[in-house]
Amino acid sequence: MVLLKKFTACYLLLFGLFPILASTEPAFRKKPVRQLVHQDFKDLSPTVTGKKSSEQIEQLAIPDYNTRNATATLINEPESTDSSDEKHDSNSDGQKKNGKEEHTNTDHISGNTCTQNTFDIRSEADLEQISKCAKIKGDVVVEEYEGSLLELEGVAVIEGSLTIKNSGGLSSIEAPELQVVTGTLALDTLTSLSSLSFPKLMDIDSIEWKVLPILSHANFNRGIKKIKSVVMQDTSLTGFVGFNVEKLNRLNINNNRFLERIDSTVKEVDGELVIAANSKGLKVVLSDLEYAEKVVIKDADEVDIGKLENVKQSAEFINNKFTELDVSHLKEVGASLSISKNANLKKADFSSLSDVGGGLIVIDNMELNKIDCFPSLKTIGGAIEFHGDIEESSLQQLRLVKGSAIVKSSSSSFDCKNWIENQVSDVVRGGKIECGSGNSKNEG
């Protein structure tokens, strides 16, 4: 009787709870399935993604958990607690990731993405193949192009370099939508090119333009905001403006015979700064420049570099037409300082300069009669060499010259004896002392 009662109780307990258990869905069934979006499928095609792919994707059903492993490359992305806005903020324009400066974020640009190591363009038929690509991943090389107009009609981003060269019949290049080039924009030996238009281009790694003898117009309406290097050689451009950056690795502008103005907000040039052999009336406005690895300025009519504080290697001012040179904030030149053949130079201001790592060369500046522009100079790591119609020289703070000291003046007013005895005899350590003036033989 006791056993019968226990059996009855177990039976009622088991079958009484079964409907409740049967109506309860397992916990894993209630786990929310993350909604698929177009971003999950953007890399389905190795060459082109866009509207066509998205239409195919819309037909796909959300896979069941039993098939998840088979489609892991499509939906198995790491979960994150960050909101989309937070993600955007951490990777916004101008930010650095892992210590490296990134290009402008282009995730907002929609359209086809075309991927290939190199897109070779020689004809309009070749150009048509990339005309519908909003983003290009790979280098674009245009060489021996057959037409007179090259129009990159729909291209907004090139993740690579754009090189256009050796196309003698090409007269105009237009890229109305191009915003970013992560590599180099290289134009080389385009002898008929007269017009260039990149109205939306703001972000580029470097520019290298060479042998563009009749290029007179370049349109960068928005202004370049990010760029690392500029080389511009043998063009007919009349102005270099619109490059609003604070730092460059290289700035080399030479042999542009009609170039009348160079104007930039750059503060640092980590490599060479070379401006030479441009228009005779060239005005150079680098009024924010504070540092350069190397400076060469030749054949300029006016120069504004008044905030320059440090030159790591050499500085050369040669064959310019300006009457005054204000470098009053310059404190140190790591190698030689040369001021030579500036025919109209009457006044120079190097009042903060204390150290020159190499030689100090002041030669054939025929209007610069008094060398009194170095009142704070203490050490010269090389030689002193002064040539010209020099009447006076004053280096009162000079304490060390590691090379020779040589003066050759055509003026009879220059007093060699005084210069040797009172300015250089006690500070020259590594070489000879020579002085010659208009009314005396060489002394030393």
Helix (H, G, I), strand (E, B) or coil at 159: strand
Residue 387, pLDDT > 80, answer yes
Averaged pLDDT of the chain? 81
Report which of residues 259 and 18 the model is more confident about.
259
Tell me what the mean pLDDT of segment 131-138 comes to. 93
Give per-residue pLDDT as tens, 258-314. Answer: 999 999 999 999 999 999 999 989 999 999 999 999 999 999 999 999 999 999 999
Report which of residues 243 and 153 the model is more confident about.
153
Give per-residue pLDDT as tens, 183-228. Answer: 999 999 999 999 999 999 999 999 999 999 999 888 887 778 899 9
Instruction: Give 256's pLDDT tier (boundaries 50, 70, 90).
Output: very high
What pLDDT shows up at residue 219? Answer: 81
Tell me what the mean pLDDT of segment 386-399 comes to. 95
What pLDDT shows up at residue 252? Answer: 97
What is each CA distance from 7 to 1, 10, 13, 14, 16, in whole angstroms?
Answer: 10, 5, 10, 11, 14
Kindly provide the b/e burial profile for residues 110-123, where b requires at least 16 CB atoms within 10 angstroms of the residue's own CB.
Answer: ebbbbbbeebebee
Contacts of 120 (CB under 8 A, 6+ apart): 126, 141, 143
Q: Name the pTM for this structure.
A: 0.74
Contacts of 110 (CB under 8 A, 6+ apart): 50, 134
List, as one string, the DSSP characters of 269-324: EEEEEEEES--TT-EEE-TT--EEEEEEEES-SEEE-TT--EESS-EEEES---SE
Instruction: Give 26's pLDDT tier (boundaries 50, 70, 90).
Output: very low
Contacts of 24 (CB under 8 A, 6+ apart): none
